[in-house]
Structure 1
């Protein structure tokens, strides 16, 4: 029946009748406030970077060098005075002391010689890097040949690379420009070494991630991460032909951290953003596990910087390692044993 619009009252929405025993409707629930949880902070690796990368001041170096010289001088004077007294009172014991002191002196000189040779080999690798960069910039085939000869001489005493050296010698006559020759040398001599370096980085990242996640002590995880990173950097030098001794290893670590800062690799690039986001997701379950993932990612980035410092050639045709791939394989190694090349 038609109704008179003028006489109609104000329209009201239809009334929904609900009963007390009706189940709750999910649509009536209030909206969930999805607050952005703070991303995990790599405090352990930040502390390691500060410990390794901070250079001592001139006053600190003077204090340490003067203290070491004074301690060595006093120790030598005391040893000589003690041996002189033994020779006067007990000649046999005195000569035994002289023999032991001579052996200790020879061993100390041998260690100093080893440190010097290790630093010389690292300087040789650094010179090859500069020569390779100049050869590529000038497109000089003669300089590229000199760099290739230096690489062959660097790995001449490694019998496991005999086949690679023979292949390079057979194929280098086919190249007619610097880029092709250095690319060939990289593929023949450095490809297998890159795989070994990747495995070392994965092992160090796995160690740092697990240590940060499982050790609740404040400084124990820092010590473990520092030891893992120093060992990884030393292994990078050994893989690519260098020898980092006790003192040279620390200086090499400082060089790696300086290179990491100078190249801007400490910033969150595309290869690190995904890992940090994964650490944020994991931090919702456990803050320590989230920090462990991010610390492992930064360890992988330190390892890549160590590769760039210790590698005789820049990355030309071989792919540069990515943090995400290294961390994923490192975490996979926590549960499975996968020794295949990356």
Structure 2
């Protein structure tokens, strides 16, 4: 029998007592961690994309055909064949007309002289049309020359060259009564500028800002026409003909707005110049991005294939219009905002549904 524990002396504090118990470990109530569950879970990057359709993206077949028709330059042999054939046809037609008039003068002098007068009148009209075409193309060449001079003035920062470009712009629009107020404002404020960049920016703001708004309206109307024609006309090649006519008319209007005059032959040559500029700037190579951005990819094609093609064709028409602005505009875009395809197509479609803002 063990002796009882001794009592602590008075005045000392009693410390805690530690008791060691040999207890079994408590079982963990949580289930064991399963590595297979975590391994089977997918990361957010592996999740399927939202609103992705397997439907084919609408392709701008109409505008692709228009681009091939207008932008493809004929070969030298083709040009020689066409020019020689046209010259031969005009020569034979003239010889036949002269032979007919000579015989008519011998048999019936009065009718012969009437035929001579009509032939002379037709010849004068043909010469007048040729002169008009030459003057129209020379005016477009004048605008192209102003573009090059403006680029050289900005590169050299030459105030004298910028003044020469400004004088050329004023002379280009000297006969337009609707720009009298703009010319007066430019004349009043041009003395305040002391460098080429400021002077050309002032000329752009005073003379070209209003013309840019008119050009945007024409592009929106052409894009609206092409989009509606592609979506609503089911006839083969009818949409191609309508898109070709709308684009040619738009390019002619661009030249007229900015001071050029495009006749029948000049309008076709200007259209080829615009298509060449479109290819040179790489806008045609960015067509896939345009399709996915504007047309909404396969979702729009799933809703309506024809409407998707119409929207993409309208967007490409807007891109052609922007290229026509860059070709026909006497100055590059300096301070004025460059038009964007998305904005033009949006406003054009708003006009299609009758909600376009006319302000």
Which category of TM-score, normalised to the shorter sequence, fits these structures? 0.7 to 0.9
Deviation track 1:222-267 (CA, whole Å, cap 9, x = no partner) reads 0000000000000000000000110010000000000001011123
Give the Cα separation in 1 of the matches to 2:292 and 2:202.
33
Query: CA-atom RMSD, angstroms?
Result: 1.8
Tell me if the contact between 1:271 and 1:323 (Cα under 8 Å) persists in the aligned partners: no
1:41 to 2:59 alignment: yes
Give the Cα separation in 2 of the matches to 1:314 and 1:214.
37
Gaps of 5+ in 2: 1-26, 28-49
1:243-322 pair list within 5 angstroms: 243-268=261-286, 272=290, 275-278=293-296, 280-322=298-340
Among candidates 204, 214, 219, match of residue 222 of structure 2: 204
Among candidates 135, 138, 144, match of residue 126 of structure 1: 144
Could you say which residue in structure 2 is the equivalent of 1:15?
Answer: none
Give the Cα separation in 1 of the matches to 2:75 and 2:128.
30
1:226 to 2:244 alignment: yes
Give the Cα separation in 1 of the matches to 2:291 and 2:306.
19
Tell me if the contact between 2:185 and 2:206 (Cα under 8 Å) persists in the aligned partners: yes
C-alpha displacement at 1:36, in angstroms? 2.7
Give the Cα separation in 2 of the matches to 1:240 and 1:336.
28
Q: Secondary structure at the match of 2:311?
A: helix
Gaps of 5+ in 1: 6-31
**Cα pair distance change 1:269/1:283, threshold 3 Å:** closer
Give the Cα separation in 2 of the matches to 1:283 and 1:206.
19
Q: Which moved more, 1:101-110 or 1:265-274?
A: 265-274
Give the Cα separation in 2 of the matches to 1:228 and 1:285.
26
Bigger-Rg structure (1/2)? 2
Among candidates 67, 71, 84, match of residue 53 of structure 1: 71
C-alpha displacement at 1:279, in angstroms? 5.8
**Cα pair distance change 1:279/1:288, threshold 3 Å:** farther
C-alpha displacement at 1:218, in angstroms? 1.4
Could you say which residue in structure 2 is the equivalent of 1:215?
Answer: 233
Tell me if the contact between 1:206 and 1:334 (Cα under 8 Å) persists in the aligned partners: yes
1:105 to 2:131 alignment: no
Could you say which residue in structure 2 is the equivalent of 1:65?
Answer: 83
Could you say which residue in structure 2 is the equivalent of 1:14?
Answer: none
Could you say which residue in structure 1 is the equivalent of 2:175?
Answer: 157
Deviation track 1:121-179 (CA, whole Å, cap 9, x = no partner) reads 00000000000000000000000000000000000000000000000000000000000
Give the Cα separation in 2 of the matches to 1:150 and 1:95.
48
C-alpha displacement at 1:192, in angstroms? 0.3
Among candidates 168, 191, 194, match of residue 212 of structure 2: 194
Among candidates 319, 335, 341, match of residue 323 of structure 1: 341
Deviation track 1:7-61 (CA, whole Å, cap 9, x = no partner) reads xxxxxxxxxxxxxxxxxxxxxxxxx996432210000000000000000011100
Tell me if the contact between 1:308 and 1:314 (Cα under 8 Å) persists in the aligned partners: yes
Give the Cα separation in 2 of the matches to 1:75 and 1:132.
47
Give the Cα separation in 1 of the matches to 2:334 and 2:252.
24
